[in-house]
Amino acid sequence: MKTVTLQQYEALCDEVWHHNRLYFQESKPEISDDAYDELVRRLEAIEEAHPEWISDTSPTRRLGERPLEGFKEVEHSQVMLSLEKAFSQDELQDFHKRMQKLLETSSITYCGELKFDGLAISVKYEKGRFVQAVTRGDGRVGSDVTQNLKTLKTLPLRLNSTDVPDVLEVRGEVFLPKAAFEKMNQERAEQDLPLWANPRNAAAGSLKLLDPKEVAKRADLSVVFYGIAGLSKELPKSQYEVHQFLASLGLMTPETFLKPYGNFISIAKLHSVQDIMDYADRVARERSELPFAIDGVVIKLDNLTAFEMLGTTGKHPRGAVAYKFSAEQAWTYVNDIVVQVGRTGVLTPVAELEPVQLAGSCISRATLHNFDEVERKDIRPKDYVCIEKGGDVIPKVVAVDRHKRSGHTHAVKAPEHCPSCHTPVVKDPHEVAWRCPNVKGCPEQILRKLIHFASKAGLEIEHLGDKVMEQLVQKGFVKRFSDIFRLDSAMLSQLDGFKDKSIKNLLASIEKAKKTTFARLIMALGIRYVGKQMADELARTTKSLEKLMAMSVDELLEVPGIGEKVAHSLVEYCSDEENRQELLALECLGVTCKVEEVHYDTSHPFYNKTIVLTGTLSSMGRGEATARVQAKGARTADTVSKKVDFVIVGDDPGSKLEKAKKLGVRIVYEPDFLEMI
């Protein structure tokens, strides 16, 4: 390699960044892929010869050298609040009137934007160089994901401007385009891994991986920006100008991302409720064709001075509202209604549908929940039905067009015999469920129990997905939990698609699963009525499998959160000789479990308290809220009673709030809840 100077190296860095921007952000490449690759190879050769020249913003430095040890928490310089929600034109009219009253004017301009269904992010640049990325978290404190965001090709590590601000903090959304989501799920299906429910979950899961190299493999993870949280120079005067300003710096905005895909609308100036509705209607029509998932539009005061002047309510900025779309729907035919048998024997009717596109994915099945639901909605084979994704996640049948019903159909009833083992089914007197009582002899129940044991909810045995377990059961290699730990290379070589590498990977995962936690083992056993929270409480209280196995119903009732139903189920399971022998076999095969010691702040108001969550929290999902209170040493319950200490209330709380008021249970609304945790 001929001698180069530092100035030539920096010029080459700038050239590569220039072509990066043209390709990934503007979709206007000036050179071929081969020519681009040659530039990168030259850059890498120079950096190998002169490692002292390499900066963190070199185009070759998107990947960190080592996996992260965890994500440190960072306090936001400006709180990332959620938006007030509107679901109708009347609610938008109320918002508009409120703005007119607060601003004392009838003439208001709004900026309309797409509401991405992704992961909110705050990104900081100093002197034009990317320095930090933090997730929204609870709005006040988020996780530092700087190294992971660095791997996104749509994120410039240097701003493209001759007049960059000393400090710029921008707000945006990390998301996974629909095509990339479908591809990722296809690859996961081929590897027998659980499928992502929606692009948002996939984006969040990808961004929180501890190894940036793994994040980089999900190359289509993208980011767009639409707001400014901090700027060391004069701010743009309007929200509409913010988009133009961000684009001028080389940052990806919704408008620049959409350019290659066609004439979609992404941003608009609006002056009335009718303008807002016209804009929302157009976006709703284009929604299914967009390359990414959205769940509504954001309407924000265009005048940023007025927006800042109005401030916040503590939960939301006053000058903006999110107009949420209803769940996407599609019509299709029910080819058949089949019955699935779960691991606890519950029979669940499932509609097998004529495949149809809905919310960016192809839907061919939808759960009908239970036979009471089927009867109530009168859903039959060959019916023409409307399906939607509940929360844009789980497909469900919401309506039947009976005018299209032919005479060649029949009402569906619960079967008299289990479709798997032909045992007469029974109606659970305490539930809507019909069950197969053949707990130990029903092939489908056995298979589902084994799948659960190895699943993420159980011992999390990688490479042992549903299809692999089905093969192992069909060939007679696995009949009970302990058989998993008796598998060897000779057995696995008989499975379809299993070669040396697959065999080695699965055996290594099985060996790794031998060392687990007590709570995980309890959960993996699939004892009826025992979920994750209950398993955690049992592990924390009993400390050992031996003690748990010896406890009576009365002793179990002393464990916080355990009632009669759970206590009797546990005693029934632990007193069964076959179950006891199976647990002994697991121990003999080297399965060991430890009790994870958790040290709580005993002075925290949630410590050792029982908490009920109700309504929708704007700052976090139900799962995260549950985890946050449990991390403070609290227990969560599903129903309000005198034994409950706190009821945490979000939007649309329902009857639990009224019951808490009647019983005098302490009620905590979201802003106070965020302060307490």
Q: What is the CB neighbour count within 10 angstroms for residue 546? A: 9
- Environment class of 202 (CB within 10 Å of its CB; exposed 0-12, middle 13-18, buried 19+): buried
What pLDDT, on the 0 to 100 scale, is given for residue 89?
Answer: 93
pTM of this prediction exceeds 0.75: no
**Per-residue pLDDT band at 24 (split at 50, 70, 90):** low
What pLDDT, on the 0 to 100 scale, is given for residue 623?
Answer: 66
pLDDT digits (tens, 9 = 90+) for 411-437: 999 999 999 999 999 987 777 889 999
Does 245 fall in a domain? Answer: yes
What pLDDT, on the 0 to 100 scale, is given for residue 543?
Answer: 87
Residue 363 belongs to a domain with what CATH number? 2.40.50.140
What pLDDT, on the 0 to 100 scale, is given for residue 202?
Answer: 78
3-state class of 662 per DSSP?
Answer: helix
Arithmetic mean of pLDDT, 540-546: 87
What pLDDT, on the 0 to 100 scale, is given for residue 67?
Answer: 42
Residue 519 belongs to a domain with what CATH number? 1.10.150.20
**Which residue numbers are catalytic?**
115
What pLDDT, on the 0 to 100 scale, is given for residue 563?
Answer: 80
Instruction: Name the most confidently modeled range: 160-169, 312-321, 347-356.
Output: 347-356
Q: What is the CB neighbour count within 10 angstroms for residue 289? A: 10
Domain's final residue, options 564, 594, 624? 594
What pLDDT, on the 0 to 100 scale, is given for residue 189?
Answer: 63
What pLDDT, on the 0 to 100 scale, is given for residue 25?
Answer: 53
**Per-residue pLDDT band at 29 (split at 50, 70, 90):** low
391 pLDDT above the threshold of 50: no
DSSP string, 545-585: HHHHHH--HHHHTTSTT--HHHHHHHHHHHH-HHHHHHHHH
Report how far residue 614's alpha carbon sits from residue 636's, in angstroms, rounded to the nearest whole number: 11
Phi-psi region at 137: left, alpha or beta (left = phi > 0; alpha = psi -120 to 50): left
The two structure tokens encoding residue 454: 């190895």
- Give phi and psi for 32, each to the nearest 5: -75, 165
Count of structural domains, the chain: 5
The two structure tokens encoding residue 236: 């743009």
Between 97-101, 116-120, 214-218, 477-481, the lowest mean confidence (pLDDT) is in 214-218
pLDDT digits (tens, 9 = 90+) for 246-255: 999 999 999 9
Q: Do 177 and 203 reside in the same domain of the chain?
A: yes
The two structure tokens encoding residue 196: 């992502």
Tell me the C-alpha to C-alpha distance, in Å, between residue 543 and each of 159, 247, 532, 626. 55, 57, 16, 23
Q: Do 42 and 88 reside in the same domain of the chain?
A: no
Q: Do 119 and 262 reside in the same domain of the chain?
A: yes
Residue 204 belongs to a domain with what CATH number? 3.30.470.30
Phi-psi region at 526: left, alpha or beta (left = phi > 0; alpha = psi -120 to 50): left
**Per-residue pLDDT band at 66 (split at 50, 70, 90):** very low
Does 344 fall in a domain? Answer: yes
146 pLDDT above the threshold of 50: yes
Do the Cβ atoms of 220 and 291 come closer than 8 Å?
no
Residue 643 belongs to a domain with what CATH number? 3.40.50.10190
Does 63 fall in a domain? Answer: no
Does 457 fall in a domain? Answer: yes
What pLDDT, on the 0 to 100 scale, is given for residue 658?
Answer: 85
Does 46 fall in a domain? Answer: yes
318 pLDDT above the threshold of 70: yes
649 pLDDT above the threshold of 80: yes
201 pLDDT above the threshold of 60: yes
Arithmetic mean of pLDDT, 300-318: 90
In percent, the amount of the chain with pLDDT more than 90 equals: 44
276 pLDDT above the threshold of 90: yes
> What Rg value do the Cα atoms of the chain yield, rounded?
28
Do the Cβ atoms of 216 and 207 come closer than 8 Å?
no
Instruction: Name the most confidently modeled range: 66-75, 145-154, 471-480.
Output: 471-480
334 pLDDT above the threshold of 90: yes
In the chain, count H helices and then E strands.
26, 24
Residue 39 belongs to a domain with what CATH number? 1.10.287.610
Give residue for tokens 């002197």.
127
**Per-residue pLDDT band at 386 (split at 50, 70, 90):** very high
Provide the Cα torsion 628, 630, 633, 638; round to 10°. Answer: 130
Q: Do 340 and 419 reside in the same domain of the chain?
A: yes
Arithmetic mean of pLDDT, 173-186: 84
- The sheet carrying 347-358 orders its strands as 361-367, 347-358, 329-341, 384-390, 394-400
What pLDDT, on the 0 to 100 scale, is given for residue 63?
Answer: 44
Domain's final residue, options 396, 416, 434? 434
Arithmetic mean of pLDDT, 29-44: 75
3-state class of 357 per DSSP?
Answer: strand
Q: Do 589 and 631 reside in the same domain of the chain?
A: no
What pLDDT, on the 0 to 100 scale, is given for residue 597?
Answer: 66
Angle of helix 33-49 relative to helix 6-20, nearest 10 degrees? Answer: 150
Distance of CA 527 to the CA centre of its chain: 26
Provide the Cα torsion 168, 173, 174, 179; round to 10°. Answer: -140
192 pLDDT above the threshold of 60: no
What pLDDT, on the 0 to 100 scale, is given for residue 618?
Answer: 66
Q: Which domain holds residue 42?
A: 6-53
Q: Do 309 and 246 reside in the same domain of the chain?
A: yes
Q: Do 147 and 282 reside in the same domain of the chain?
A: yes
26 pLDDT above the threshold of 60: no
Tell me the C-alpha to C-alpha distance, in Å, between residue 614 and each of 586, 630, 653, 657. 40, 16, 5, 7
Does 209 fall in a domain? Answer: yes
68 pLDDT above the threshold of 60: no
Arithmetic mean of pLDDT, 43-55: 81
Does 125 fall in a domain? Answer: yes
Q: Quote the Cα angle for 527-529-530, to 5°.
A: 60
Average pLDDT of every residue of the chain = 86
Q: Do 338 and 384 reside in the same domain of the chain?
A: yes
What pLDDT, on the 0 to 100 scale, is given for residue 46?
Answer: 86
DSSP string, 582-646: HHHHHHHTT-EEEPPP----TTSTTTT-EEEEESB-SSS-HHHHHHHHHTTT-EEESS--TT--E
**Per-residue pLDDT band at 594 (split at 50, 70, 90):** confident
Q: Do 578 and 643 reside in the same domain of the chain?
A: no
Distance of CA 458 to the CA centre of its chain: 19
Q: Do 164 and 287 reside in the same domain of the chain?
A: yes
Does 460 fall in a domain? Answer: yes
**Per-residue pLDDT band at 456 (split at 50, 70, 90):** confident
**Per-residue pLDDT band at 577 (split at 50, 70, 90):** very high
**Per-residue pLDDT band at 392 (split at 50, 70, 90):** very low
What pLDDT, on the 0 to 100 scale, is given for residue 105?
Answer: 93
Instruction: Name the most confidently modeled range: 95-99, 138-142, 535-539, 646-650.
Output: 95-99
What pLDDT, on the 0 to 100 scale, is given for residue 65?
Answer: 39
**Per-residue pLDDT band at 339 (split at 50, 70, 90):** very high
Q: Do 132 and 274 reside in the same domain of the chain?
A: yes
Domain's final residue, options 402, 434, 466? 434
Q: Do 378 and 524 reside in the same domain of the chain?
A: no
Report how far residue 438's alpha carbon sits from residue 341's, in angstroms, rounded to the nearest whole number: 11
Give residue for tokens 């509409």.
240
Arithmetic mean of pLDDT, 287-295: 87
